[in-house]
C-alpha cells in the first residue's frame, strides 16, 4: 500500500497572502524555496502527493473557482519545472462552519479516498502550517507535520516543507 502525503498549499508550498487576502491570480503565486524539490523527492520515493486546501475567498466573492484553478495550473507548472507533480488537488471553497470539507474537517480526505480507494489514511501524513491542518490530519488518523509556529500539536515540527519531507521519507522507509 502506497503512503499518501497530503499537503496544504498557502504557507506550505507557496507564500501565504497577507492576512485577510488570498492568492487569487497566478501572478500572485510565489513558491517557497525548496518546495518543488521537496515534492519531487516525495514523487521519486513513490509516495502519492495530494494537495488539500481551504479557499474561502471563493465563498466570500473575492475570487472564483476558475481563479483557483488558474492558480493551481500555475502551481502545477512551477512544480513540473522542479521535476515534481501532484497526484490530485482537492479544494474547499466554502465559508467556515458551512461544510465538512473545510479543514479542520476531514471532508477533503474523504473526497480523496472516494477518488482513489487505495488511499489508506492510517498510512498517510498531513503537512501544513496551520492548526486546522494538524487538527484535520489528527481527526483523520494520520501522522502530522507542522510547519512553523502556527501548526502546534503535530507529531513532528519542521521549519519548511523540505524538512517535513525529510522526516516523512525517514519515517516511511522505516515502516516498509
CATH number, position 165: 3.40.50.1000
* Mean pLDDT across 99-113: 97
Domain count, the chain: 1
CA distance 136 to 98: 16
CA distance 128 to 104: 11
Q: Is the pLDDT of residue 95 over 70?
A: yes
Q: How many CB atoms lie within 10 A of CB 107?
A: 18
* Mean pLDDT across 78-101: 97
Q: Is the pLDDT of residue 172 over 90?
A: no
Cα 174 from chain centroid (whole Å): 23
CA distance 166 to 163: 5
Q: Is the pLDDT of residue 104 over 90?
A: yes
Q: Give the predicted TM-score (pTM) of the model.
A: 0.96
Catalytic (active site) residue 8 = yes
* Mean pLDDT across 116-129: 96
Helix (H) or strand (E) run with residue 90 in it: strand 88-92
Catalytically annotated residue among 8, 67, 129, 133: 8
Host domain of residue 134: 4-175
Q: Is the pLDDT of residue 25 over 90?
A: yes
Q: Is the pLDDT of residue 174 over 80?
A: no
Catalytically annotated residue among 10, 67, 87, 133: 10
Amino acid at each position: 500500500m502506497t503512503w499518501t502525503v497530503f499537503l496544504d498549499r498557502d504557507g506550505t508550498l507557496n507564500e501565504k497572502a497577507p492576512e485577510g487576502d488570498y492568492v487569487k491570480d497566478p501572478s500572485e503565486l510565489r513558491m517557497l524555496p525548496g518546495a518543488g524539490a521537496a515534492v519531487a523527492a516525495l514523487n521519486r520515493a513513490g509516495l502519492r502527493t495530494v494537495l488539500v486546501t481551504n479557499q474561502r475567498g471563493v465563498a466570500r466573492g473575492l475570487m472564483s473557482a476558475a481563479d483557483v484553478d488558474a492558480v493551481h495550473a500555475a502551481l502545477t507548472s512551477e512544480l513540473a519545472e522542479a521535476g515534481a507533480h501532484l497526484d490530485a488537488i482537492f479544494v474547499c471553497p466554502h465559508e467556515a462552519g458551512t461544510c465538512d470539507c473545510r479543514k479542520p474537517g476531514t471532508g477533503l480526505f474523504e473526497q480523496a479516498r472516494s477518488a482513489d480507494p487505495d488511499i489508506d489514511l492510517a498510512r498517510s501524513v498531513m503537512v501544513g502550517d496551520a492548526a486546522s491542518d494538524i487538527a484535520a490530519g489528527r481527526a483523520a488518523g494520520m501522522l502530522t507535520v507542522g510547519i512553523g509556529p502556527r501548526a502546534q500539536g503535530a507529531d513532528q515540527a519542521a521549519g519548511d516543507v523540505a524538512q517535513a519531507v525529510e522526516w516523512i521519507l525517514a519515517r516511511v522507509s522505516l515502516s516498509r
